[in-house]
Chain A
Amino acid sequence: MPIRPSVIALVVALANVAPMLRGEERPNVANVDFERHVSVLFRRLGCNAGACHGSFEGQGGFRLSLFGQSPANDFTAITGDIKTRRVVVDAPDESLILAKPSQRVDHEGGLRLPKDSWEYAIIRRWIADGARYTANRGHVHRLVVEPASVRLAPGDSLPLSVVAQFADGTSETTTAFSEFRPTDETVVTVDADGRVAAVGPGYTSIIASYRGMFVHASIVVPFPPADGPSPHLSPANLIDEEIDGRLDLLSLASSPSSSDAEFLRRATLDVLGTLPNVGDVRDFLADDDLDKRARATDRLLAHPRRATVWAAKMCDVTACNVDTMESPAALRPKRAKMWHDWFRHRFAENVRYDEIARAVLCATSRGGETIERWVEDEIRRENGALVSFESDYCQRRELDLYWRRIGADGPTPIEDFAELTASAFLGLRLHCARCHHHPYDRWSQRDFAGFAQILSRVRFDSSTELRSEINRQLEIRRQNRGSGVTYPPLPRLQEVYLSASRRPLVDAAAEASALPTAPGGPVLDDSSDARNSFTDWLVQPNNPYFAKSFVNRIWAKYFGAGLVEPVDDMSASNPSRHPSLLDRLAAEFVRCGYDIAHIERLILNSNAYQRSTRSVANNGADSRAFSHASVRPLPAETLIDALNTALETMDDFGPDVPGGSTAYDVAPNRLNGTDLDTVFRFLGRPDRRSLCDCDRALGPSIRQPIYLMSDPRVIAKISQGRLARLLAEGSDNRTILTELYLATLSRFPDEDELAYLDSQVSAASDRSAGFTDVLWGIINTREFSTNH
């Protein structure tokens, strides 16, 4: 398709935009305003960075708020004490805020503001006009970048323009006062004035920011067109419509579909976290129904193992961490199992995602039961857990374990819950805003505090009602002492409940007056449990985070990375790899009633998912537009389970999990009494210690090949299990080799492979040793240890 940058439309759009700002050229500002123009220049010039005046104790006696988060304070710092001569209205050039950064007076920070610069002129004018301040005049309601999306040829350049719409209804071009940042400098670069230059092919974004608001411009730079036509397969569903559209914009060819064997192996590894059985591979390859991939997809999605893999994923997402669980230590692995089972049960039933989220977010221990009933159940569960991994916890409506966390020095800080909850259910990393305005997103510390206040009445301890119920139980036991009636031991119980009073904020204490507020949303009703009002807001169809963040996680499960990556960093400055696709998937998720399996089915049935990893025509250079499939490393749990499925063996994960567990059944984040804990760690299984979904090591390490080549357990397993059985059955070499291929690589060996390996086995002094060598060779191929 022809490459024609849509520049003409842009020229029209940019006609009334400020020109390039250099030297004497100045932005056209009618009335200089402190918030809109002066305070933002402090940021652009670096004055209020943490290393300079933005430090909490200032610099040289002069303190500005970090990144200009508090213009009112900055105004006071500049004008509050006339003796400082920071601002001298009658003789603007003598104002220290001009004289120092222009280095007419000594300035430790060096030359920041040359006297002949337009920035100097702006600040000078503000002073000369009387150095006035109108609070909130610079409060940005919406930020717009133009063009919002554009296609450029390599070598083209183009100025971006930023328009701020202020809360008072006015708007203004603020390009000169904005900052610009590229997300992929191999595609497009941008200078300080917002001029982008296309460098190489690809799809990327430029982030523009002004006064703590962020917006991005999408830029497509096409690849050199392929020789000859290479039409896409006809779209399977909305995913292909979106992806093919992008490929056309980029002039990229799409790779053909993978082979049947590749498809079954890929989908099984992704859905079930292990390899397909030999029988399933044979049946699938022999099936000549044209619809067999869709049928296989349905079978995989209905398989109980799918729920196990999701449960492990959700334990990562919700930070199921035995080190933050209540005593006694012996029960912690059991609690982790309850947590895992609770999610597994829900995914097996394909419970709507909004219901799952609500049952976590709004959980209390009693969950609507009477205190007597809950205490009775809890005594039974706690005593049962002392002797067994079996529990009816998954029958509970709510996951109170999410809130049953203990910090290192007492109760878990509210801020920790807020940070984790934002990551898990909104896909937002609010960490920075705990202490100050988020440097890469719109969130202020007050926004964070408002969010934290939603959770600040949640307690996990011994409530008054619980104490009196325990006293009642003790009294019953005392009265019946010697009567022959036996009672189960009374464990130490604590409950998750809603308190009348708030726990204090620590990091965000300065903003503790904030009312419970949804991030970027309304102030919430706190008359009962603000978590309920929050969840009501969250699951509304037009919520900007909820559906998107979860479809993004689903996408990441099937493509190895989210459309937004990291998956829980859906900030305005970290745009999606394919915004319209993410939007449509999220809308579809809402439309179908938060049906997780439905979205998985769309993905698995799409051409984009089923493509070959081999490149065609010009798409070898693409790694981000889904023109071909990528070769992906196996997650730690998948590698271990795939190995056991292939070899017909098991691992012993130690005393913290029930016997017979697979890697995905393992609930605790760390294991005692087994070396497999170390294996998990170096293969990249997350330890869930952070308050974000960021602990999984991405990509393989050298430890993986060393593990597969030399781990004593792996070496022992190769000659046990399947190989031992096949040898005992007395099958011939080619039959055994064929089954080994089906079990490990999920395909038939070709004639060359068969002939070569047969000769290797025949040449070996001992048949068993010959096969051991061969099977070692197979599991150490890259074809085995990757998903492709």
Chain B
Amino acid sequence: MFPSTCQRWSHRPSRRIFLRVGTAGLAGLSLNEALRLKSEEPVAQKAPQAANVIMVFLTGGPSTIDMWDMKPDAPDAIRGEFKPRETSVAGIQICEHMPHVAQAMKLLTLVRSVSHTIAEHTQGQSYVMTGNAPSPSVAYPSLGSLTAKLCGSNRGMPAYATLGNVPARAAGDLGTAFDPFAIAGVGEQAEKRAADTIGLPDGFTAEDLARRVAIRNRIDRRLDGASSDLPAQLDRFQSEAVDILLSDKVNQALCVEKEPESVRDTYGRSSFGLHALAARRLIEAGARFVTIGFGDWDTHANNFTRLRQTLLPQLDQGLAALLTDLQDRGKLDETIVYCTGEFGRTPGVNSTSGRDHWARAMTSLVAGGGFHRGRAYGSTDSEGFEPASGRCSPDDLSATILEQLGFPPSHAVSTRSGRPIPIFKKGNPVAALTGSGAETG
């Protein structure tokens, strides 16, 4: 029913069982949705340009006006304490405290004209993580859950994993089967990782597992006739769990200490650095979508001190290392890196040297997977209040990413209840950000 265009990246056919879309569900579409689904049908889908996504979610709302879209000529009350610096791309300046990303600028695109209206954490996080404005009638899936559903998993690896504390990461109405494989954290030392080690414990061999699973399968029959979704869902989890345990790939991927010291130094030994490195290893092991939750960017007070001392150094080193490393290993072409928070922060600095919530203008960062490199797309007005050109929304960026994976916004997925929903209700891909699009802004 839904041709899986990311199939060519799969090592094997997906084991997913697509839910049947009943006529009831189809008729349940609003006229608008139905027309939109129909109108897209004959249009040839764009071939997939990317296979994987690493999302870096800056929880709390990063002050992007101090990071990616500085206003050195604005009045003191807006400009803030930081100065811009040149980057590896002529004409693009970013914050002085991000020297590594400045160096890696030629690999990425800054989208300086992202704008929306939900300046509240929970709803804003849900919005940006799903690419759909929160709705009382649909619990939209996170982008990772959506990708897991659409692209399936590679054997022995969960399709969608999260590292650290990631808000709004769940699958919503797609059902918990597409919730992320949540990894609480990757520690510096092996012993600190114990709880997150995924694999068979010492003395428990693959043969033991196979023998025991055979016994389990023989006796686990009593719920076969029950009329609930849960048994079938657990069945799917169990067989995936066996794959993951037998392959030990997750565990291996999380062993960041296997990387050469030089690589680890490049990423930095901060928790974000460790997670960025683990994300790269998870993707290489076959995960499709990894989201890293990082920080507390809700800098209502002491914005500049907190950015300068803790937040920016970690982000700068880890993010630049991730991009450069992916590029060096030839993985950046097929791996999208998307770094964003739920909103930006007010251009005006408040009385406690902080900035408050501001959703009407913020910068997000995209790289790899067919996105242009070394560009700044869109712009904001002279004081950073509103986009001045290239206005786009989180929906649009999300739609662009999924289109790079091969799925137009009108593509329908069915919820647990069999209701088809277009993956993005309002998002339209921003053509100018990707390979074939003409550059504007």
Known contacts A185-B419, A710-B204: does B218 contact A756 (CB below 8 Å)? Answer: yes
B244 touches A706 (CB 8 A): yes
CB within 8 A of A185: which of B28, B122, B233?
A: B28
B28 touches A782 (CB 8 A): no
Tell whether B11 is near chain A: CB-to-CB under 8 Å.
no
Alpha-carbon distance between A682 and B216 when the two chains are bound, in angstroms: 23
Tell whether A181 is near chain B: CB-to-CB under 8 Å.
yes
Interface flags, A10-21, vs B, CB<8A=1, else 0: 000000000000
**Closest chain A CB from B115 CB (angstroms):** 9
Tell whether B225 is near chain A: CB-to-CB under 8 Å.
yes
Tell whether A705 is near chain B: CB-to-CB under 8 Å.
yes
A777 touches B219 (CB 8 A): yes
Chain A, residue nearest B421 (CB) = A185
Chain A, residue nearest B242 (CB) = A709
B219 touches A756 (CB 8 A): yes
Tell whether A628 is near chain B: CB-to-CB under 8 Å.
yes
Known contacts A614-B227, A702-B237, A783-B222: does B211 contact A200 (CB below 8 Å)? Answer: no
Tell whether B88 is near chain A: CB-to-CB under 8 Å.
no
- Across the interface, which residues of B come within 8 angstroms of A189, CB to CB? 27-28, 30
Tell whether B201 is near chain A: CB-to-CB under 8 Å.
yes
Interface residues of A in 33-61 (CB under 8 A from B): 50-51, 55
Tell whether B396 is near chain A: CB-to-CB under 8 Å.
no
Interface residues of B in 413-433 (CB under 8 A from A): 417-419
- Across the interface, which residues of A come within 8 angstroms of B230, CB to CB? 630-633, 699-700, 782, 786
- Across the interface, which residues of A come within 8 angstroms of B223, CB to CB? 613, 631, 782-783, 786, 788
Which of B181, B219, B220, B244 has the largest count of A CB atoms less than 10 A from its CB? B219
B28 touches A199 (CB 8 A): yes
B227 touches A186 (CB 8 A): no
Tell whether B25 is near chain A: CB-to-CB under 8 Å.
yes
Tell whether A757 is near chain B: CB-to-CB under 8 Å.
yes
- Across the interface, which residues of A come within 8 angstroms of B118, CB to CB? 50
A186 touches B215 (CB 8 A): no
B176 touches A699 (CB 8 A): yes
B231 touches A706 (CB 8 A): no
Tell whether B312 is near chain A: CB-to-CB under 8 Å.
no
Alpha-carbon distance between A409 and B419 when the two chains are bound, in angstroms: 45
**Closest chain B CB from A750 CB (angstroms):** 10
Alpha-carbon distance between A219 and B223 when the two chains are bound, in angstroms: 32
Known contacts A615-B227, A760-B215, A783-B220: does B234 contact A705 (CB below 8 Å)? Answer: yes
**Closest chain B CB from A428 CB (angstroms):** 15
- Across the interface, which residues of A come within 8 angstroms of B199, CB to CB? 710
Tell whether A523 is near chain B: CB-to-CB under 8 Å.
no
Tell whether B339 is near chain A: CB-to-CB under 8 Å.
no
A705 touches B215 (CB 8 A): no
Known contacts A186-B419, A678-B184: does B179 contact A706 (CB below 8 Å)? Answer: no
A675 touches B211 (CB 8 A): no
Interface flags, B216-259, vs A, CB<8A=1, else 0: 10111011011111110111011011101100000000000000
B212 touches A780 (CB 8 A): yes
Chain B, residue nearest A197 (CB) = B27
Alpha-carbon distance between A55 and B231 when the two chains are bound, in angstroms: 47
Chain B, residue nearest A756 (CB) = B218
Known contacts A189-B28, A631-B228, A678-B184: does B201 contact A200 (CB below 8 Å)? Answer: no
Interface residues of B in 307-357 (CB under 8 A from A): none
Interface flags, A772-788, vs B, CB<8A=1, else 0: 01101110111101101
Interface residues of A in 160-201 (CB under 8 A from B): 181-186, 189, 191, 197, 199-200
Known contacts A675-B195, A704-B237: does B25 contact A186 (CB below 8 Å)? Answer: yes
A199 touches B24 (CB 8 A): yes
- Across the interface, which residues of A come within 8 angstroms of B220, CB to CB? 777, 780-783
**Closest chain B CB from A206 CB (angstroms):** 11
- Across the interface, which residues of B come within 8 angstroms of A781, CB to CB? 216, 219-220, 222
Chain B, residue nearest A687 (CB) = B165
Tell whether B77 is near chain A: CB-to-CB under 8 Å.
no
A675 touches B194 (CB 8 A): yes
- Across the interface, which residues of A come within 8 angstroms of B235, CB to CB? 782
- Across the interface, which residues of A come within 8 angstroms of B285, CB to CB? none
Tell whether A712 is near chain B: CB-to-CB under 8 Å.
yes
Interface flags, A298-332, vs B, CB<8A=1, else 0: 00000000000000000000000000000000000
Tell whether A5 is near chain B: CB-to-CB under 8 Å.
no
- Across the interface, which residues of A come within 8 angstroms of B117, CB to CB? 50-51, 55
B201 touches A712 (CB 8 A): yes
Known contacts A55-B117, A615-B227: does B195 contact A709 (CB below 8 Å)? Answer: no
CB within 8 A of B226: which of A50, A573, A614, A633?
A: A614
Rank and list the top 5 A-B pairs by shortest CB-CB distance, nearest first.
A185-B28, A699-B176, A777-B215, A200-B24, A675-B195
Given pairs A631-B228, A678-B196, A700-B176, 11 additional interface contacts (CB within 8 A): A197-B27, A440-B136, A573-B136, A614-B226, A615-B227, A675-B195, A678-B195, A705-B237, A709-B238, A710-B198, A782-B234
| Residue contacts A-B, CB under 8 angstroms, 21 given | A189-B28, A409-B301, A613-B223, A614-B227, A619-B227, A620-B227, A631-B226, A631-B230, A632-B230, A675-B194, A681-B184, A682-B184, A699-B176, A702-B244, A705-B237, A709-B242, A710-B198, A757-B215, A757-B219, A774-B215, A777-B213
Residue numbers of B with Cβ under 8 A of A are 22, 24-25, 27-31, 116-118, 120, 122, 136-137, 158, 170, 175-176, 179, 181-182, 184, 194-196, 198-202, 204, 208-209, 211-213, 215-216, 218-220, 222-223, 225-231, 233-235, 237-238, 240-242, 244-245, 300-301, 360, 417-419
